[in-house]
Every structure is written in structure tokens, then in C-alpha cells.
Amino acid sequence: MRSRASTGVMSEPYPRAMGFYDEQVVPRLTNVMLGNRSFGKLREETCAGLRGSVIEIGFGSGLNMPHLPAEVTDLWVVEPSETARRLAAKRIDASPVELHEAGLDGGRIDAPDDQFDGALSTMTLCTIPDVTGALDELRRVLKPGGTFHFCEHGRAPDARVARRQDRWNPVQNRVAGGCNVNRDMPALLDEAGFEIESLRHFYMTGPKVMGYMSLGRARSA
């Protein structure tokens, strides 16, 4: 990372133990599987409208960096994987956006209250163990009127697909670094006190059990 600003808050270890597979294999698979052109279009749509100082939870290998609007002045990132950070190096170097670290755990963001103009999350809320705590933290660090831009997969409205998601979820959790395919993303945002301003749902190409998407923006209610 280019720099780290001190906020007076010590970061905690990521709450889910990261073994060899989670640290060395999952970030590389994610970098390839979510680094394609079709998902790049979703990243472009998700990032549109971001400006000023932005916090991103689940920075990963920096796949969103090429899609950040010119109005974004600095990006603060939360990412527990050292492997993912190394994979992000070229994207970081190619971007004009100043980068800072904001901790290892979305449930304990190293930043003061009301710091950021916007927040960003793509395919991250499915994995964070304490997703409610992470959303509470985003509300805390967003300025009044700040927007949360998200693109996440989750629980499908089709009952048959949802049942398959429930059956598949334990396997997904093991093979995909703690990922859950059956979290109801709009409901989680609502329960956390976010007011959804725009939202579109769709299935990505591929197995429906993993591909029901929620893409939109929300503000703190």
C-alpha cells in the first residue's frame, strides 16, 4: 500500500482464521473469476457517482480501482489477505487515486466517525462473518448524506433456487473462503439502518444458486 494514516484505533485480526487455502488459493481464484469483462461492466455501474473520500470493504486484488470515477480523491481499504494485496500492486500503481489502509476487519474500520463521502462493496458482504457489524461500521464512518454503493450476490426470490442455495451454502462456505450464497442483502441493509435509493436485481450467467445479484446505492436512514 502507498501509505497508512494513523487514526488512533488499533486494527484487530480478521475474525475468521485464514489458513493456506483461504490465504493463498481463494484470492487468486477470485482475482481470475471476478476479473472478467462482464463483471467489469458491473463494477463500472457500481462505482458510478462515487466522489471524494471513499471507503472500500473487501478491497481484494483492487479490481474496482480502474473503474473509480475521476471525482474520487482517495480510497481507504479494508482487506485481510496479504496475497490479495500483492495481486493488487499493479492496479494500485496504475491508478491516480491515493490509497490508504483502514484495517483488516470490516467490523472494526480504522477511521473516525463521519469521515467518508462514499462507501463501496462488491462481492464482499457475502463473506464477512459479522456482516451486521460491518454495515454498522459503514454507517458510522460515512458522512451525513454519504452513499453506499454495492454489488452483491445473495438469496434469490425464487423458492426453488433459495432452497438449493440453503443446501449448497455449507459447501460454498468451505470452498470459497467463507462465502454465503443465501444472505438477503436488501434485508440486511434495511435492518442496519440504510435506506436503499436505487436497486436492480438480476441473475448473472451461470448457476442461479450463486448468481442472484443486488446492485444499487443506499444512504444512512
pLDDT tens digits, 121-160: 999 999 999 999 999 999 999 999 999 999 999 999 999 9
Name residue 200's amino acid.
R
pLDDT tens digits, 165-212: 999 999 999 999 899 999 999 999 999 999 999 999 999 999 999 999
CA–CA separation, 46 and 104 (whole Å)? 23
| Cβ-proximal residues to 40 (8 Å cutoff; 6+ apart), any chain | 63, 66, 67
Task: Report DSSP letters for the chain, one per residue.
Answer: --B----S-PPPPPSS---HIIIIIHHHHHHHHTSSHHHHHHHHHHHTT--EEEEEES-TT-TTGGG--TTEEEEEEE---HHHHHHTHHHHHH--SEEEE--S-TTS-SS-TT-EEEEEEES-TTT-TTHHHHHHHHHHHEEEEEEEEEEEE---SSHHHHHHHHHHHHHHHHHTTT--S---HHHHHHHTTEEEEEEEEEEPSS-HHHHEEEEEEEEE-
β-bridge pairing 194-203 and 212-220: antiparallel
pLDDT tens digits, 22-44: 889 999 999 999 999 999 999 99
User: Does residue 16 surpass a pLDDT of 50?
Assistant: no
CA–CA separation, 21 and 212 (whole Å)? 26
Could you tell me the pTM of the whole model? 0.89
Domains and CATH numbers, the chain: 37-220 (3.40.50.150)
* Whole-number pLDDT of residue 21: 81
Of 76 and 8, the structure prediction assigns the larger pLDDT to 76
Strands of the 116-122 sheet, one edge to the other: 98-101, 72-78, 52-57, 116-122, 142-153, 212-220, 194-203
Name residue 97's amino acid.
V
